[in-house]
Structure 1
Amino acid sequence: MARRLEPGRLVIASHNQGKVREIRALLEPFGIEPVSAGDLGLPEPAETGQSFADNALIKAHAAAEGAGLPALADDSGLCVPALGGRPGVATADWAERQPFEGPPGRDWYLAMGKVEGLLAELGPDADRSAWFACTLALSWPDGHAEVFEGRVEGRLVWPPRGTRGFGYDPVFVARGHDVSFAELDPAEKHRISHRADAFAKLVAAVFG
């Protein structure tokens, strides 16, 4: 039996404002008052795990301990079968600029280009299927944690399309759709996304 989450303040263990907005929109109907780790000035822990669940738990435990409040962390990424599941847990790392690529920071167009370049090397018949995976870790200050996993299947397109969303959204088209995540109405993306899938499992367990 999962531990119930009571109404009140909850730390969203992320400094990614796009991710924070999505999670806040999903949580607010349940009487939760989300506050981001960035707003609280909490440091970002090193994500040294070998899986999405490992990294989500690292972030959730650090935020819960640092704030003395329950904390929710998300670790998510793009998985491409033709690339052996990459970028996977290294999804954000692929957006990190190298010294010769400009000032430090994340460049998502660069990351999307890396994926497309590797697929191009495989030739015109390369498998362009992909999925977004999401693991949510909910942690309490006493160390208890719950983990929920979700995913959404789709395919990759090029060039990038749309200005909504973030990360790899402009090159990902969900199964059953013909527009990218960055072209979808945000409400529709919230309904079908990997994060929504994981969140539905969290809701059933801790709010049900």
Structure 2
Amino acid sequence: MKLSSVVCGLLLGVAGLGWSGCANNAEVVEEKPPDAAKLSEYYPLAVGNTWTYALDGRTDRQEQVKILKQEEGFFHDNKNGQLMVDSFGIRDEKRYLLRAPLEPGRTWTNVVSVSSTERYEILHVGIPCQVPAGSFQNCVQVEARNRVDAKATLINTFTFAPGVGLVRIQMEVEHDGRRIPQTRLELTSYQVNPGQG
């Protein structure tokens, strides 16, 4: 499975890593739309917003994501990523990264191919998160899983901070029930305007 274009571009650019497929579309579910303004707090989108990440805690391996333009509802960044907030969640052009309601246990899926599906779950809401850019409260942590074969599953854990955006990405491979760390990206600095809301 491929991460969101923003995240995937960041990981591919920094670590040469990424998911093995590409989602065809985000799941569409009939439900009452949540408060989009609250969702937008977890990924402030505006032209000029910038996030800088360190790879595996190394200050000499950093990558910057900057929003360059807004077009057809999507905010485009310098890593060929596209993000938007709609009435159901934060999404790229193919999948939802975060969906309401923001509560532990909330799940959704994105179809990757006939034989592969991304499965997302909100693990924690309202937790603290400490990264080099600072200490953030009321964060939301989401786990994305994609089974590779009978023994291996790719796992990404995303942590979103309100008013900031994505502050941590942890990639792991679960093999025979054991998680093996692959890479970690942590926010070292950021400059955001509230933008869309």
Q: TM-score range by the shorter chain?
A: 0.3 to 0.5
Q: Which has the larger Rg?
A: 1
Under a length normalisation based on structure 2, what TM-score does the superposition of the two structures give? 0.34
Q: Flag the structure with more relative contact order, 1 or 2, with Cα contacts below 8 A and sequence separation at least 6.
A: 2
Under a length normalisation based on structure 1, what TM-score does the superposition of the two structures give? 0.32
